[in-house]
Structure 1
């Protein structure tokens, strides 16, 4: 192998943190964004994969109870082989690589193969779960030591490898990883070792994520309380006097949508202000794409429009998808943004405007409501349309009302340029489908008539299992509501005004009222 090629390859052993992507280090994010290969396990949040480039190779080496993707030796072989191919490899490991992350074994494999590597620390689960659950791990009056223990070091091993009876004598706070499958045995050994049944204890499951759950109980009642609460792995078990200072409610679970599972039906691969806002408010957001967006252009029409692009007085963008597709076509035709011309720009909603603002384009008009009707009214209010040449950027499913109003009431001369098409996505291809049908959700959001029609069309594949939460149906605005009603679907919630903020405000109000 060429020495220069070998010298370029490197492995980064990166801590993915406990779950919340916001707890990842800046160094870790930078490496994920620039890597050639992403090797990940199941405790690393899948959202982190979105930061990798489209061309990045993704390799799943995760282990979970009853499922072993590959042996540890095989993982080491992959890391060595990819680095020796001259690639930048990120080995993404849940929590911190050196805290029960088997980083030492992978380091040895890399050392033996003389492959360069770097270790990037991560926030370990015990510290993060305790903080998000409001559980102090130390207090000068209740405990001045913290011990990190593991219920087992390999999901394939059945026996405990830590003598918990001896650790009962240590005192302080015990933080026990990977112990849920052996919880009863662990508690029994701690009691045999001398800990009181009244010693404060806790279990935090799915820590730092919207689905986080916890129980606080005396050690003697912990097993039964965990069973009643149906807490499962991944989880951290805490035992110690300082745990008694914790409260049932914390800063994290007081978020207005905490514990709510919200389903978005938009096309996959799209940045979403709605997702970000819902997650900020504590919701668990899952994507169930019901539509797909694909480029679609009439080359002859594009050539005609671009030949006369300087003659338009307004260009109107009806969606973020249209804005993205248009700019891609534009830069195939022109290399300089100054070729855009003197057109004034109007957009439906903030999300559409943000696409164009990224190119340093000034937006003359952003409609308050994210509807064609709202934009048409505001454009007419500018008194600039009479005999004006207007270009409307559309998709294949855009309604004609915008063009009709601009031509009829505004007396504008309107050309339309379709640049993308919306089709139904096959719901059976959605990775979350089985989980969604098994567990259900609290709400499903329809942001367009297209998503509503796709839901109706594929209803036979969207039948919930017994015991699943039945979601309320939420509509982005009047037109989407009309489509749902025409198909005999009950609308439980409609945005106060057609916008992301309007819909989220309605969700918060609804769930606050329902408790």
Structure 2
């Protein structure tokens, strides 16, 4: 009899992907199936293993993808298949997340479960807006109510009068469409018209907006500002306070779409996040490895015949050494071989295996690697170039002209995972920048209806890591707005920072 899996109810936090817990990320990194709602960031979808089944059950007002009862049954069915399942919810599973209903169904079916709490927007969105839910001598308590079902039958719930009379901070989640009902209900039940109030749109996200006022005018202010859902309503004296962060990171308020392999996008995400930016994965590239194929096996067997190893990417470094060790070899097999790499990021990967590069070009492009290496080579040298199938032919051209002997072996291929057209449009809509780190990433992105994709790019800036990537982009009729002068993750981050700071001046 197959053993049942475990269901983990994980809170994704209030929107900013950096606010998920470490435990939540750990559960994502080891699950077999992911059942998720509409999320503020797709970052979490790239944190699951490659084999993980991703099942969208998103629920938005008026557009329910799957009924709650169906979700409950789905969790049971997946666990009975022996899968470890993450049920990912925005905020916290128990703060209007219907996590309790799912647990009741799991318990009845005898399925083991774990709850991983999440940061709730009822606190985090206010904090990011500079509003403390409690403050000494101002508010000694806070109270949270869902505003989503307030207008059922056009009336307030029976206990609203008691809620309105509470002291402290009153917080309404998912209640923007019922703002008038809420404000009038608070005033009718005794709250003074001059009670401070605020509405927070897209809390914790780069596009967050805060409208402040009083119960008397907050509705007209929100309407004038064209505030849209998702939004949180706050009423109470603390809404007059502004404890907004004074740390102005260079990419604060900036939202950046990233493309590339999981390793690359993970490093780029971390660098941009440290600068205050928020990232969304728009296109993922995965690696199909040929490190155990015949060509590489033969190359590993004759490693002592090579004088130079050329690496044109960090992926090539990882795949080469993984294949070396899997084949029963160790570092002694490399003897006195010298290493040439295309850039600092590739060298950093090489250092992890105990080697420093003997040559790095000043400009991190394959053509510069070839031209700079040529004077260091003689006719007696023999080079091994393990790289992707889409490697630049410029390297071969320069070496052929110099009469250098080399073996250019396909070590891996890049497979594309791109969003559907409608999803892509939604993903690009809130972005300020979109980054490309390779020509293959550009080509994968433009698979489909080029004209529609170009239209989607019209309102944002496109950033390329180098000239070759920019040329690939121009072939599709779109010029790069920015090209990183240093062809690395740091170079991409630096040029975006410079441009974003100019935009804010």
Q: TM-score range by the shorter chain?
A: 0.7 to 0.9
Change (3 A) 1:211 1:330: farther
Alignment of 1:36-435 (within 5 A): 36-43=32-39, 45-152=41-148, 160-161=156-157, 163-246=159-242, 250-251=245-246, 254-266=248-260, 271-289=265-283, 301-327=295-321, 329-330=323-324, 333-334=327-328, 336=330, 338-367=332-361, 369-376=363-370, 379=373, 383=376, 387-405=380-398, 413-421=405-413, 429=420, 432-435=423-426
The CA distance in 2 between the partners of 1:331 and 1:428, in whole Å, is 35
| Distance apart, 1:241 and its partner CA | 0.7
8 Å Cα contact 1:316/1:391 also seen in 2: yes
The CA distance in 2 between the partners of 1:394 and 1:118, in whole Å, is 43
The CA distance in 1 between the partners of 2:33 and 2:436, in whole Å, is 35
8 Å Cα contact 1:32/1:90 also seen in 2: yes
The CA distance in 1 between the partners of 2:263 and 2:183, in whole Å, is 45
Greater mean alpha carbon deviation, residues 395-404 or residues 183-192: 395-404
| Distance apart, 1:431 and its partner CA | 6.3
Q: Which runs of 5+ in 2 are unaligned?
A: none
1:129 aligns to what SS in structure 2?
helix
Change (3 A) 1:373 1:176: same
8 Å Cα contact 2:454/2:478 also seen in 1: no
The CA distance in 2 between the partners of 1:503 and 1:25, in whole Å, is 28
Change (3 A) 1:95 1:391: same
The CA distance in 1 between the partners of 2:474 and 2:29, in whole Å, is 44
Greater mean alpha carbon deviation, residues 134-143 or residues 202-211: 202-211
The CA distance in 1 between the partners of 2:72 and 2:502, in whole Å, is 53
Of 431, 434, 437, the residue aligned with 1:444 is 434
Greater mean alpha carbon deviation, residues 148-157 or residues 166-175: 148-157
Q: Which runs of 5+ in 1 are unaligned?
A: none
1:462 aligns to what SS in structure 2?
helix
Greater mean alpha carbon deviation, residues 371-380 or residues 154-163: 154-163
The CA distance in 2 between the partners of 1:224 and 1:291, in whole Å, is 47
Q: What TM-score, normalized to structure 2?
A: 0.85
1:181 aligns to what SS in structure 2?
helix
| Distance apart, 1:201 and its partner CA | 1.8
Please list the CA deviations of residues 114-165 of structure 1 after superposition, one character each: whole Å capped at 9, or x if unmatched. Answer: 3332222221111211222221111112111111111136999976436444
1:49 aligns to what SS in structure 2?
helix
Residue in 1 that maps onto 2:497: 508
Residue in 2 that maps onto 1:459: 450
| Distance apart, 1:393 and its partner CA | 2.6
The CA distance in 2 between the partners of 1:436 and 1:112, in whole Å, is 38
1:134 aligns to what SS in structure 2?
coil
The CA distance in 2 between the partners of 1:100 and 1:453, in whole Å, is 42
8 Å Cα contact 1:290/1:454 also seen in 2: no
